[in-house]
């Protein structure tokens, strides 16, 4: 869908996120023909630089991070770029920035800086006349570190912008498969009637990474896996799996339903949480070395059992886990259906279950495990086989070219579509659920359990499911 010419200002335009994600995403949209003639992208940060310097800087970032390599008209993309030296906490650069923007078109300010600067930036945008009705602001995670700080951020932003102008990014929502999850649920008759505790035994959400926290130790030591991953990304996935069908696919209808899920979550019992820290491995430092604190009690792994107390889900647990330096880089949601009420094939046929797996990475796709007869003359032996819907396979090469999450989300900001962004009350509700869990361990539940690099986390995480007669899916 074409968009009108716009001004996009990336505040923090020389930072890591801008280089790795935001600017390459804009470039790919340009190559896809989606950046209209006359659109302007302005980097703004403390570093002293001019337009030409910034174009070189972005060119180098594209060389490093824009995959596939892009298109022939790269110079024309770089021509759309400008730069303003700006101090978020002072006066420098603000009138220059205002002078660069065009009247009467959509303007978006992407706050690619830490949350301490969100309030000061919003205030200065207004003071310098850049906070009109056509202005949108995009804010990155972390949106606070607890309920109180998230509330304070929301209050600060609300002084200058309406909720309809604030785009809180959770890039998981921009992933193709995550949106496909909604298509699967609400575009098919097949799944929705079974989508409840009567038919679903449990749901597992796993986000496993192989990397450690190298280079981000300082931030991570203060955050931990619960704040960095569960409160936002895993919570958003849980909401999309568990929510009631919205009446329309529109921002508030979808976000209202997600909010109801978060509010229906039970408090998590301390026994239902396992935290871990990765150990040093063959010369590679462990978590405590990475964060520079030999007594760190921050978790690089967490597994927990969540319960949703509502009509649909009472009795169906949601098991969530995420961690660093695990066996494989894999993210998936598995909806594990119940056993058939009675096996007509006798006990030797074994236990078989349907599992719907939504894979976020690698190989984005969805597969449904179904039970069939093992081919051959050996009698009625059953096997589980996947009905696989890898998008690239089913839809041809075009499906391999799906836009990356940031591409989609940035274009949604320009189009003014908030469906895939978190509303303020959602973020607060998520913290309200997370805070007591964190308080549980800061009040003396002890240090996280050590685990080996390349494992599936501490053994106690496996026990969390075993004691319920269930098992995690393998991380591979």
Binding residues: 12-19, 46, 141, 171, 175, 209, 228, 324
Q: Name which of 15 and 448 has its Cβ closer to ligand NAD.
A: 15
Binds ligand NAD (CB under 6 A): choice among 16, 63, 339, 474? 16
Three-state DSSP class for 474?
coil
Question: Which among 137-145, 204-212, 249-257, 317-325 is the span making contact with ligand NAD, rule CB under 6 A?
Answer: 137-145
Three-state DSSP class for 60?
helix
- Smallest gap from residue 464 Cβ to ligand NAD (A): 28
Annotated binding site for NADP(+): 12-19, 46, 141
Q: Name which of 17 and 279 has its Cβ closer to ligand NAD.
A: 17
233 as an active site residue: the answer is yes
Binds ligand NAD (CB under 6 A): choice among 3, 5, 46, 470? 46
- Smallest gap from residue 72 Cβ to ligand NAD (A): 29
Question: Which among 23-31, 107-115, 325-333, 389-397 is the span making contact with ligand NAD, rule CB under 6 A?
Answer: 107-115
Burial of 179 (0-12, 13-18, 19+ CB in 10 A): middle
C-alpha closest to that of 437 among 274, 261, 267: 267
Q: Name which of 112 and 354 has its Cβ closer to ligand NAD.
A: 112
Q: How far is CA 181 from CA 238, 344, 389, in A?
A: 11, 33, 12
Rounded distance between C-alpha atoms, residue 21 and residue 61, angstroms: 10
- Smallest gap from residue 114 Cβ to ligand NAD (A): 4
- What would the x/- binding string for ligand NAD be over residues 138 to 177, using CB under 6 A? --xxx-----------------------------------
Rounded distance between C-alpha atoms, residue 173 and residue 408, angstroms: 10
Question: Which among 45-53, 99-107, 225-233, 316-324 is the span making contact with ligand NAD, rule CB under 6 A?
Answer: 45-53
Two tokens, residue 189 = 């008759």
Question: Which among 39-47, 231-239, 254-262, 304-312 is the span making contact with ligand NAD, rule CB under 6 A?
Answer: 39-47
Rounded distance between C-alpha atoms, residue 69 and residue 64, angstroms: 9
Buried b (16+ CB within 10 A) or exposed e, 259-269: bbbbebbeebe
Binds ligand NAD (CB under 6 A): choice among 89, 253, 328, 471? 89
- Smallest gap from residue 69 Cβ to ligand NAD (A): 22
# binding residues, ligand NAD (CB under 6 A): 21
Two tokens, residue 185 = 């649920």
Rounded distance between C-alpha atoms, residue 331 and residue 458, angstroms: 18
Three-state DSSP class for 449?
strand
Binds ligand NAD (CB under 6 A): choice among 78, 86, 101, 184? 86
For residue 12, state whether it binds ligand NAD (rule: CB under 6 A). yes
Q: Name which of 50 and 250 has its Cβ closer to ligand NAD.
A: 50
Rounded distance between C-alpha atoms, residue 41 and residue 56, angstroms: 14
Cβ pair 137, 109 in contact under 8 A: yes
H helices of 229-309, where? 235-242, 251-263, 287-291
Strand ranges inside 118-199, DSSP E: 135-139, 166-168
Binds ligand NAD (CB under 6 A): choice among 17, 98, 432, 449? 17
- Smallest gap from residue 13 Cβ to ligand NAD (A): 6
Binds ligand NAD (CB under 6 A): choice among 26, 31, 58, 88? 88
Q: Name which of 140 and 407 has its Cβ closer to ligand NAD.
A: 140
Cβ pair 298, 328 in contact under 8 A: no
For residue 114, state whether it binds ligand NAD (rule: CB under 6 A). yes
For residue 112, state whether it binds ligand NAD (rule: CB under 6 A). yes
45 has which bridge partners? 85
Of 128, 202, 233, 342, the catalytic one is 233
Three-state DSSP class for 448?
coil
Question: Which among 136-144, 187-195, 205-213, 242-250 is the span making contact with ligand NAD, rule CB under 6 A?
Answer: 136-144
For residue 15, state whether it binds ligand NAD (rule: CB under 6 A). yes
Rounded distance between C-alpha atoms, residue 131 and residue 316, angstroms: 46
C-alpha closest to that of 299 among 322, 271, 276, 274: 276
C-alpha closest to that of 290 among 218, 211, 209: 218
Binds ligand NAD (CB under 6 A): choice among 34, 47, 179, 419? 47
C-alpha closest to that of 113 among 24, 15, 26, 222: 15
Q: Name which of 7 and 140 has its Cβ closer to ligand NAD.
A: 140
Which residues contribute to the site for ligand NAD (CB under 6 A)? Answer: 12-18, 45-47, 86-89, 112-114, 117, 140-142
Catalytic residue numbers, as ranges: 233
């Amino acid at each position: 869908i074409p968009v009108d010419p716009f001004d996009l200002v990336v505040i923090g335009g020389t930072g890591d996120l801008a280089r790795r994600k935001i600017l390459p995403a804009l470039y790919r949209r340009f190559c896809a023909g989606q950046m209209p003639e006359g659109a302007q992208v302005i980097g703004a940060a403390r570093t002293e630089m001019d337009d030409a310097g910034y174009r070189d800087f972005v060119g180098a970032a594209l060389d490093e991070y824009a995959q596939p390599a892009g298109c022939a008209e790269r110079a024309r993309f770089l021509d759309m770029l400008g730069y303003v030296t700006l101090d978020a906490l002072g006066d420098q650069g603000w009138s220059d920035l205002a002078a660069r923007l065009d009247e009467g078109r959509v303007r978006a300010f992407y706050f690619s800086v830490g949350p301490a600067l969100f309030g000061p930036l919003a205030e200065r945008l207004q003071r310098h006349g850049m906070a009109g009705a056509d202005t949108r602001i995009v804010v990155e995670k972390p949106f606070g570190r607890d309920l109180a700080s998230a509330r304070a951020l929301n209050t600060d932003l609300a002084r200058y912008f309406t909720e309809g102008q604030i785009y809180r990014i959770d890039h998981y929502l921009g992933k193709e498969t995550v949106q496909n999850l909604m298509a699967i649920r609400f575009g098919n008759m097949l799944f929705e009637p079974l989508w409840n505790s009567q038919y679903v035994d449990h749901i597992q959400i796993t986000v496993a990474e192989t990397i450690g926290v190298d280079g981000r130790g300082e931030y991570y030591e203060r955050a931990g896996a619960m704040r960095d991953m569960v409160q936002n990304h895993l919570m958003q996935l849980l909401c999309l799996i568990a929510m009631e069908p919205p009446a329309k696919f529109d921002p508030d209808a979808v976000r209202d339903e997600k909010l109801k899920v978060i509010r229906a979550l039970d408090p998590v019992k301390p026994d239902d949480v396992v935290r871990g820290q990765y150990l040093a491995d063959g010369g590679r430092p462990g978590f405590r070395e990475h964060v520079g604190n030999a007594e760190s009690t921050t978790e690089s792994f967490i597994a927990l059992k969540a319960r949703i107390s509502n009509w649909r889900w009472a009795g169906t647990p949601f098991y969530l886990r995420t961690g660093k330096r695990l066996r494989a880089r894999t993210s998936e949601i598995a909806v594990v259906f119940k056993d058939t009420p009675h096996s007509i094939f006798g006990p030797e046929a074994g236990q078989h279950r349907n599992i719907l797996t939504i894979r976020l990475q690698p190989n984005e796709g969805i597969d449904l495990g179904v039970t069939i007869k093992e081919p051959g003359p050996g009698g009625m032996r059953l096997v589980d086989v996947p009905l696989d819907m890898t998008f690239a396979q089913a839809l041809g090469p075009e499906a391999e070219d799906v836009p990356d999450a940031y591409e989609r989300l940035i274009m949604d900001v320009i189009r003014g579509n908030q469906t895939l962004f978190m509303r303020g009350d959602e973020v607060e509700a998520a913290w309200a659920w997370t805070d007591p869990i964190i308080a549980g361990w800061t009040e003396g539940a002890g240090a996280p359990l050590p685990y080996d690099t390349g494992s599936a986390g501490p053994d106690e995480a496996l026990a969390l499911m075993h004691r319920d007669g269930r098992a995690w899916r393998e991380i591979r």
